[in-house]
A and B are shown apart, each in its own frame.
Chain A
Amino acid sequence: MKKTIFVVALSIAGFIAVWRFEPGPVHNTSAIAQAPPASVTAPSTSAPPPTAAPATSATPSSPPRTSTSDSADTTVTTRGSAESSRYGTVQVQVTFTGTRFTAITLLQAPDSGRSLTALPRLQEEAMQAQSADIDTVTGATETSESYKTSLQAAIDARGNR
């Protein structure tokens, strides 16, 4: 299948609106929201751009998103260029599955050194990990009763065979 190339341009202002829509402000996004609109341009699907993409910060254009629609379920991750504002440097990474965005990562935020991904929601379909696929389970398994029916008990039983 032909490799899909996405070209995505999102204005920070537009992005922040999306970011703040349902999730609570994970970072101090209120400061970012007041930043002058700058554009975040994602020229390719892989590595971050070596230098800042043309910063059309004065005139955020409508997102010219182009895609070859050969697969509705192709997952594509694009990374915007790092844009500096008077509040600090902001860089986002957006993951699309088909035409829907499934994750936004704030790679650089003015008030935090760490990047944090907020997936829109816990996957409805939990991963059907069979005990054969994992070696152990982390979780709050705090009673002997709950242990008996846990995935960890199944893994332990396998080891004791």
Chain B
Amino acid sequence: MTTRVEQVMGLPISLDLRDEGDFAEVVDEVFAWFREVDARFSPFKEDSEVSRYDRGELPAAGLSDDLLEVLELCAYYEQLSGGAFRARLPGRGLDPCAVVKGWAVQRAADLLKAEGATTFCLNAGGDVVTAGEPEPGRPWRVGVRHPEQPLAVCAVLESRDGAIATSAAYERGSHILDGRSGTPATGLMSVTVVAGDLVTADALATAAFAMGSEGITWAADRPDCEILIVDDHRRVHRTAGLALAS
């Protein structure tokens, strides 16, 4: 059993690994990966790969496979969301953070699994990947933070080998912009998406939040996810397949 909490990529990242044995080395690798992602993909670091690419300093042949993958994901979700999700807003630099976070954390979870870990919960700033079950027959119980009360939850979800992401404006104010208008997203208090992987969950949660109230049906109509959305009128919208803990 290993637990570790570090502040990386501007996020508190918690790993709760329940497997027996010595996983110290792979856990070191996981957190080293997060630091590497921060160095390479942060738009706030001048010498990051993303910043250099954005300034046109990287030749087309010089782009790493990782950066190409991130750019492709950004383009995919931009198209899927009709432009509500946008990595490059007019007048602003490239900011692929919304995709990078889910992508990097999912990659870390895959690394843990490749090294033999079977039972863990990895939480990066409230975005969660689970593997296995903490106890035989019992799934991981994931509380959904109440949008108005920091120490309360408004639902508890069950998760096995899945991913859950939440987008909301209750922490940093209206920082998620609707890419179609360039103005802060309105209409929703929090969007929680459950999916098979965190790339999907995180990108859909961000895109749905950016879309505002249209994002409710938009996300519900995606076949590969379940949703729990609290709108500005404090109504809760959820899909029937959502695994609520009893």
CB distance from A157 to the nearest CB of B (A): 9
CA–CA, A149 and B12, complex, Å: 12
Give the residues in chain B near A112, CB-CB below 8 Å.
217, 220-221
Let me know if B154 and A123 touch, CB within 8 A. yes
Give the residues in chain A near B223, CB-CB below 8 Å.
113
For the residues of B in contact with A, the DSSP-based class is strand
Let me know if B14 and A156 touch, CB within 8 A. yes
CA–CA, A151 and B123, complex, Å: 12
For chain B, residues 145 to 166, give those with C-beta under 8 angstroms from any C-beta of chain A: 145-157, 164-166
Q: Contact partner of B238 among A116, A138, A149, A151, CB < 8 A?
A: A116
Interface size class of A (residues with CB under 8 A): 35 or more
Interface assignment of A71: CB less than 8 Å from any CB of chain B: no
Let me know if B171 and A146 touch, CB within 8 A. yes
Give the residues in chain B near A50, CB-CB below 8 Å.
none
Interface size class of B (residues with CB under 8 A): 35 or more
For the residues of A in contact with B, the DSSP-based class is loop
Let me know if B235 and A136 touch, CB within 8 A. no
Interface assignment of B234: CB less than 8 Å from any CB of chain A: yes
Interface assignment of A17: CB less than 8 Å from any CB of chain B: no
Q: With CB as the reference atom, state the residue of chain A lying closest to B236.
A: A119
Let me know if B166 and A105 touch, CB within 8 A. no
CB distance from A102 to the nearest CB of B (A): 11
**Which of A23-31, A33-41, A54-62 faces chain B?**
A23-31
Interface assignment of A117: CB less than 8 Å from any CB of chain B: yes
Give the residues in chain B near A123, CB-CB below 8 Å.
154
CA–CA, A127 and B240, complex, Å: 20
Interface centre among B121, B126, B147 (most CB of A within 10 A): B126
Interface assignment of A44: CB less than 8 Å from any CB of chain B: no
Give the residues in chain B near A23, CB-CB below 8 Å.
233, 235
Let me know if B171 and A117 touch, CB within 8 A. no
